[in-house]
A = this chain, B = another copy of it.
Amino acid sequence: MARIAPLSGFPEWLPDARIVEQHVLDTLRRTFELHGFAGIETRAVEPLEQLLSKGETSKEVYVLRRLQAEDDAPADRSGQLGLHFDLTVPLARYVLENAGRLAFPFKRYQIQKVWRGERPQDGRFREFTQADVDVVGAGDLPYHFEVELPLVMADALGRLAEVGLPPVRILVNNRKVAEGFYRGLGLTDVEEVLRQIDKLDKIGADAVGDLLQEQCGATADQARACLALAAISGADVGVIDAVRELAAVHGSGTDLLETGLAELGALIEAAAVRAPGVVVADLKIARGLDYYTGSVYETVLVGHEGLGSICSGGRYDTLASDGKNTYPGVGLSIGVSRLVSRIVAAGLVRATRSVPTAVLVAVVTEEDRAASDAVAAALRARGIPADVAPKAAKFGKQIQFADRRGIPFVWFPGDRAGSVKDIRSGDQVDADAATWEPPAADLWPRAVPAV
């Protein structure tokens, strides 16, 4: 164990950054629960054939092998296990496995690590934490859930503003709008068009226009129409009118387009009331390789757009199916590690201290350690996190021990009562461990804006 270097792509936090991450996770969990989502966890592994059932190209899977089974790896993939690369494939399997024991529509949140064997780069990890909310219906799933789900995420991310998270912008689109429009134009390979449109931010409109002609058989005019659709965005229902006008110009109106526009309009109207300024219709959002059939969502951190989407998702008409029953779903997933890594690295959020301890109880001599233990026990019994000095060193050293960890108070046990010192101000008062309270802001470490 002489040389230890971090593994690229597998982020770990020091205790103070972990306090920030824990605050983010606690806030997300509490918000999801306030909205009625039940928490579940699924195992980290799934059968390889299920992980790959929607194609191999998009995510790189880690396959598991027991060390002792080294030499008898099966020739085919049956029975092999891989680590899940998202929480959607496991949810689909969990729903099918437990369909008879779940109540539908099933609203669940799930906060877990996922793994992808991709090349690590800024904001992309090989192991990272996702926080997902999904609603799954049995047979049908009303459209209003497509309105509700991004608003849950807007609430959750909005609650993090008080610790210094920049505002978020949730970009929404509807696959029916895109598909209806493309089909109205006469383009039939809708998936391929979406895949090219998905590249807009990376390679620009001119290059995408060329690709639409080369890859999707579009004429120059059809390509221009697709790019014009993708250029439409806005936070009010004016965007719906803009799409209709564009469709009228190109004669590309269809029933599917109208259905999509009605849905998108309803989402924008509800969002304007329930999360004003957060949700923006953006007709270029395509979510290229994912199999969405209705609303699609991406989320950017304002001022950190280069980080990419921190919260994405959409509607699947067939999240899962067992042949007899079909389970549609809609959900979004927050990339917690990407978010936390950015707010910590950019110095936006910090923890008020690096340990839970509010009070360090000093030790006068090692023979008197039991007296200090008793003070700490009395404080803990009243919900005050307390620690006892590791050594009966000089008080100056014990205060230094507290200071180094950001512990605000040092308790000096006395013959009857003791005294407690706020080591930031130097104020010291007599105190009884059965009644003394720290200020509420000092009780637990908190995540706070760093500036």
Contact = CB atoms under 8 A, between A and B. Distances in A.
Interface string A301-317: 00000000000000000
Interface string A166-191: 00000000000000000000000000
Interface of A: 1-2, 4-7, 10-15, 18-19, 22, 33-45, 47-48, 50, 53, 56, 60-70, 81-83, 92-94, 96-98, 101-103, 105, 107-108, 113, 115, 117, 127, 142, 144-145, 148, 155, 270, 273-274, 320-323, 354-357, 366, 369-370, 373, 377, 380, 383-388, 390-391, 401, 404-405, 444
A390 B105 contact: yes
A303 to B, nearest CB: 27
Contact of A67 (B10, B13, B63, B102): B63
Contacts of A273: 370
A274 B373 CA distance: 9
Nearest to A379: B34
Contacts of A401: 103
B66 A36 contact: no
A18 B45 contact: no
Q: Is the interface of A mostly helix, strand, loop or mixed?
A: mixed
22 contacts: A1-B322, A2-B322, A2-B323, A4-B96, A4-B97, A7-B47, A7-B81, A12-B43, A13-B40, A14-B40, A14-B101, A36-B355, A36-B385, A60-B68, A61-B66, A61-B67, A63-B70, A64-B64, A103-B404, A103-B405, A148-B388, A274-B377
A77 to B, nearest CB: 9
Contact of A127 (B44, B274, B355): B44
A328 to B, nearest CB: 13
A406 to B, nearest CB: 10
A196 to B, nearest CB: 25
Contacts of A405: 103
A127 B67 contact: no
Nearest to A127: B43
B39 A15 contact: yes
A41 to B, nearest CB: 7
A83 B64 contact: yes
Given A11-B43, A60-B68, A66-B117, 11 more contacts: A4-B93, A4-B322, A15-B38, A35-B387, A36-B355, A36-B356, A36-B357, A64-B64, A103-B354, A105-B390, A107-B355
A402 to B, nearest CB: 10
